[in-house]
Amino acid sequence: MATAIEPRGELPSPPKHAPSAPAPTPAPAPAAGATPSVAYLWTADDLENSRLDAQHHMLSDCAWSGKPYIAPVESVLGPEGPEGGEGKAVLDLGTGSGIWAIDIALRWPKARVLGVDLGPKLRPTPPNCSLEVHDINSGLSQWNGQFDYVHTRLISSGIHDYPLMLSRILPLLRPGGLLDLSEWDFRIYSASHQPLPLVPHGQEGHSWTAEWLWALREAGARRGGQMDAASFMEGWVRESGVWDDVGYRDTWIAISAPTGGAFFPTLPNRSNDFC
């Protein structure tokens, strides 16, 4: 589900960061003729933001051992803590509700964290975190050379051309920077991690969940999203030849209670820690 990668050293080097990372440049309006974005596949209301917050905690607390990342982030930002992130800058593309950017800002309070998304986010943030409106599909060059860590998570439904996005992310990173990608493939798998076939309704083996995910994938693709990015992103990264230290890991998340009893985890509300 996640790929952690660094740019090769022989690429043109963006400016080195100053001792204290500057605030990322505000995003200008999309240039004339820029590719218009895919419309939101999901809603952009309070209910959806609550779902995104819960999804964040599900991944962090139930799948990734209490952290909002599985990439080697501390090797780039340094250890978490009150003095963490001095001189570093982080970009979250497709920030959704902003919860990931807020969580990272709380863990590295000396880093500058910027989250951008197609829809505005009206929620309090720590002083080292800002959330801005920006269409990723329209380009990213205004932030070239400004970040040590670029993160994306579950945004393929809103991306026209994933390989193009990857090529636009590359110049954003400072030397030794880290790109962290996480996507899912809109499929359901068996307990042995084999994809379940789409069985027609009324036949043995039919799954409403599999049918729903298939319909969701089809709807997203018809709206212009690259819904199969999870299956190809590792190959796109490796075959481009411009990234070093490429890593890949699958994350498996149960969609039903384990055999023998229900499991209902309590999700912490870290987003209010700074209020």
Q: Which domain covers residue 20, as residue numbers?
A: 2-185+228-256
Q: How far apart are CA 80 and CA 108, in angstroms?
A: 5
Mean pLDDT value of segment 221-233: 92
274, part of any domain: no
Per-residue pLDDT reduced to its tens digit, 54-97: 889 888 888 888 899 999 999 999 999 999 999 999 999 999 99
128, part of any domain: yes
149, part of any domain: yes
171, part of any domain: yes
Burial status of residue 260 (CB atoms within 10 A of its CB: 0-12, 13-18, 19 or more):
exposed
The CATH code of the domain that includes 6 is 3.40.50.150
Q: How far apart are CA 77 and CA 86, in angstroms?
A: 8
195, part of any domain: no
118-122, 197-201, 204-208, range with the lowest pLDDT = 118-122
21, part of any domain: yes
Quote the tokens at residue 43: 């809603």
270, part of any domain: no
Per-residue pLDDT reduced to its tens digit, 158-198: 999 999 999 999 999 999 999 999 999 888 888 888 988 89
Q: What is the number of domains present in the chain?
A: 1
Q: How far apart are CA 97 and CA 131, in angstroms?
A: 9
Q: Considering the entire predicted model, what is its pTM?
A: 0.80
Q: Give the confidence band of 4 by pLDDT, cuts at 50, 70, 90.
A: low
97, part of any domain: yes
